[in-house]
Amino acid sequence: MEAKRNIVIVGGGIIGSTTAYYLTRHPKFNPALHTITLLEAAPSVAAGASGKAGGLLGLWAYPASLVPLSYRLHAELAAEHGGANRWGYRKIKCGSIEAVVTKRKLSNLQKPVDENGKAWEKLPKQDQAAKGLLQDEELPADLDWIDREVVRGWAEMGSPGASDTAQVHPYHFTTSIAELAQQGGAIFKTNAKVTRLITSKTGVEGVEYLDRTTDEICKISDLTDIIVAAGPWTGRVLPRSKVEGLRAHSVVYEVDVTPYAVFTDIELPSDFVPEHRAKMGQKRFHKGRVDPEIYARPFGEAYACGEPDSAVPLPETADQVQVEEAYCDDIISYFATVSPVLAAAPVKAKQACYLPRHIRFGQESGPLIGPTATPGLWVAAGHTCWGIQNGPGTGKLMSEYIFDGEAKSANVSNLDPRKFKV
């Protein structure tokens, strides 16, 4: 006889959603006996990083114990559920460029479009000479939306020619998996912010949550399992997890470009001041080198993100994250120096979200996946910049921990929360 399981998942990002999905797909899941309830604080799922990330998947990502499983599951999920159309799953090429934007180049860029509609002038000589340093065949011919004149180097990521890089549209992926989990029998409650885990040394008992539509505190009792998958808020729900948040801004362009994910290292002229900052009277800009990332995305988009900042602490909920428009405009100004196509493309979103980081001894450590010292209390959080890549693997392993008592599909003992006294 199977014992009745009454499971609550805290958080409806990619980790909570894939966990709910794989629980409903586990051979031992019996909807007549077991209950799976996911509580999400925001008005909808994927309200945080899971809806606002880039969506790159790579066999060369980390941690090594989790990546191969999760990369394979992404391919399987896409094959089973029509992921290519539904959430834009596809293979993508990936590399990094080194670019140098000279003063001369910059002043050419800032000249108005001439009568022939040509905004970009011919190569200045010095750029022509420098261009010779770059092997022509190195920068792929179909990466035609990056300006070759500023590129000084190109390195392909992963092993050349291997199909070890792919992508999904993270918002569509997360919302689709959440829908499939609900079709499989999981109950999703939004506007439900968990305020207290009710546990003892010997087990879990229940959770309290704030129903944000009625402002009432509600309680779910008789739980057998609580899985905390609250992303950067995991440390708020369960302080000993030491998972916290780091803000990052991003921009989505409406543009159809060849499928490349491009990491950059751009050297800017010393007098470079982004236009929006110059307009506000700013005379100096202390960034000589920047390294924003840009990913072509399915559905006619490109996604760009810049460096993280710690100016504003993590707010109470994902729908209260503050967006500093100037940071988004900085990213736009960087890409305008290396891509005329992006410089001309309409921007359809300027956004921010928080990366979930597991910090131990002042250092970023791997995600926490598995049991805690309290029986029935589990954690799946702290995926830093690879939570989209590692979502399905995490969900699958959590379903095995719950129904089989151990992680079977991969050896993730290095990510066991008990190792960190959680």
Ligand X SMILES: *[C@@H]1O[C@H](CO)[C@@H](O)[C@H](O)[C@H]1NC(C)=O
Ligand Y SMILES: Cc1cc2nc3c(=O)[nH]c(=O)nc-3n(C[C@H](O)[C@H](O)[C@H](O)COP(=O)(O)OP(=O)(O)OC[C@H]3O[C@@H](n4cnc5c(N)ncnc54)[C@H](O)[C@@H]3O)c2cc1C
Binding interface with ligand X (CB under 6 A): 411, 413-414
State which of residues 10, 97, 266, 412 lies at the interface with ligand Y (CB under 6 A).
10
95 contributes a contact to ligand Y by CB under 6 A: no
d(CA 345, CA 257): 11
Helices (H), 26-157: 49-52, 67-81, 83-86, 103-109, 125-131
Pair type for strands 35-39 and 187-189? parallel
Residue at 214: amino acid letter: T
Residue 237 binds: one of ligand Y, ligand X, none (C-beta under 5 to 8 A by kind) = ligand Y
- Interaction partner, residue 99 (ligand X, ligand Y, none; CB < 5-8 Å by kind): none
Select from 38-46, 115-123, 152-160, 278-286 the region that touches ligand Y (CB under 6 A): 38-46
Cβ nearer to ligand Y, comparing 145 with 354: 354
Query: Which partner, ligand X, ligand Y, none, binds residue 413 by CB below 5 to 8 Å per kind?
Result: ligand X
- Given ligand X, ligand Y, none, residue 49, with its beta carbon under 5 to 8 Å by kind, binds ligand Y
193 binds ligand Y (CB under 6 A): yes
R_g over Cα of the chain: 23
What is the closest distance, in whole angstroms, from the C-beta atom of residue 412 to ligand X in the complex?
8
Rounded Cα distance between 196 and 109, Å, is 55
Nearer to ligand Y among residue 99 and residue 318 (C-beta): 318
Rounded least distance, CB 64 to ligand X, Å: 10
CA dist 374 and 239 (Å) reads: 14
Contact yes or no for 388/204 (Cβ under 8 A)? no
> Reduced to 3 states, what is the DSSP secondary structure of residue 224?
coil
User: Which entry of ligand Y, ligand X, none binds 232, CB below 5 to 8 A by partner kind?
Assistant: ligand Y
The interface partner of residue 36, options being ligand Y, ligand X, none and the CB cut-off 5 to 8 Å by kind, is: none
Spatial distance between the Cα atoms of 176 and 186, rounded to a whole number of angstroms: 14
CB of 394 to ligand X, least distance (A): 17
- CA pair distance 149, 318, nearest whole angstrom: 41
> Residue 31 burial (CB < 10 Å; 0-12/13-18/19+)?
exposed
Site for ligand Y in 335-354 (CB under 6 A): 353
Smallest distance from ligand Y to CB 205, Å: 17
Provide, rounded to whole angstroms, the least separation between the CB of residue 413 and ligand X: 4
Residues 356-395, one symbol each (x = binds ligand Y by CB under 6 A, - = not), give: x------------------------x-xxxxxxx------
Q: What minimum distance in Å lies between the beta carbon of 220 and ligand Y? A: 12
- Based on the shown chain and the rule CB under 6 A, indicate whether residue 73 belongs to the binding site for ligand Y: no
Considering beta carbons, is residue 86 or 297 the nearer one to ligand Y?
Answer: 297
CB atoms within 10 A of CB 265: 15
Of these partners, ligand X, ligand Y, none, which one is at the site of residue 414 (CB under 5 to 8 Å by kind)?
ligand X
Which residues are within 8 A (CB) of 61 and not within 5 positions of it... i.e. 6 or more apart? 67, 71, 386, 389, 390
Tokens 């924003």 correspond to: 292
**Helix 170-183 / helix 387-404 crossing angle, nearest 10 deg:** 20
Distance CA 63, CA 68 (A): 9
